[in-house]
Amino acid sequence: MEQIKKVKSMSIWIFIVPFVAVNTCLILITQFHGLFPNRADIIHNTFPYIDGGASISRTARVFPTYLIFKPAMFFTSYLLVRYWYLNKEILLKIGGEHKHIKKIIFFGVASAVALTVHSIFLGVKFDYELYKLFRRVIMLSFIIFEIVAQTYLVIILYSFKEKIIDLINPSFLKAKLVLVSILIIVAVISIPIISLPGNDFMGFNLKFFKHALEWDYFIGVITFYLFTFFLWKKINL
């Protein structure tokens, strides 16, 4: 099936492009300080996946790293839209209509739009509380829409499991289920906390926790697409 071949290709790029872009920004801003004309932009000695020494936006919103980050996110947004529509085609062809198919399109495309909007405004500074709230809402919308779309896709795949069993590697369907479950649990616990303005929560400084969670959650979200690549078996046309 041509759509399966395409979705495998699409999914691996949805993993690779943001992973490489974000970590390239991190390496440049922490190791190649000569590239940054504004010395206040550079960051020293941090591995934010563990120590939360900087947020993703902090590494990507300044010159020249935004020249890498923004195009990569725009391209990823395009790939996400294509990914969700390809999944719709596959599901309709294999299993027929399903009550949740329209939902994966709505939430999947909405997540891509939110990512695009977030990337456009990244680095744009306005000293208005309403603007800061807008940016937080857009970022949270991306996370929520993405996880909802991924969850509905896993639900549909499980409901079609008997029909697609010869086309998939079942272990990666289980891996998708475990991953999405973890992402939901972490989101439910952490979103009410990290969405609070400022970094103080009951006397506890949340700054480094927020940053580390952001990097690790980012890996979790894009790993879903890596699992898609391994989920579908190679189809010989």
Name the pTM for this structure: 0.93
Split into its structural domains, the chain has a count of 1
> Residue 93 — very low, low, confident or very high, per pLDDT cuts 50/70/90?
very high
Whether 153 contacts 136, CB under 8 Å: no
Percent of the chain with pLDDT over 70: 94
Does 237 fall in a domain? no
**Tokens 């639900």 sit on residue:** 155
Please state, for a pLDDT cut of 90, what percent of the chain lies above it: 78
Q: Mean pLDDT for the chain?
A: 92
Q: What is the pLDDT of residues 202-233, one digit of tens each?
A: 667 788 988 999 999 999 999 999 999 999 99
> What does the pLDDT look like over 95-129, one tens digit per residue?
888 899 999 999 999 999 999 999 999 988 876 77
Q: Contact at 8 Å (CB) between 4 and 166?
A: no
Residue with tokens 């499980």: 158
Q: What is the separation, in whole angstroms, between the first and last Cα of the chain?
A: 7
Question: Which two structure tokens, joined as six digits, stand for 177?
Answer: 């289920």
Both tokens of residue 181?
Answer: 């479950």
Report whether the peptide linkage leading into residue 64 is cis, meaning its omega lies within 30 degrees of zero: yes
The whole-number pLDDT of residue 198 equals 67
Domain that includes residue 79, residue range: 2-231
Bridge partners, residue 2, by sequence: none
pLDDT at res. 203: 65
Task: Burial-class residue 219 by CB neighbours within 10 Å (0-12, 13-18, 19+).
Answer: middle
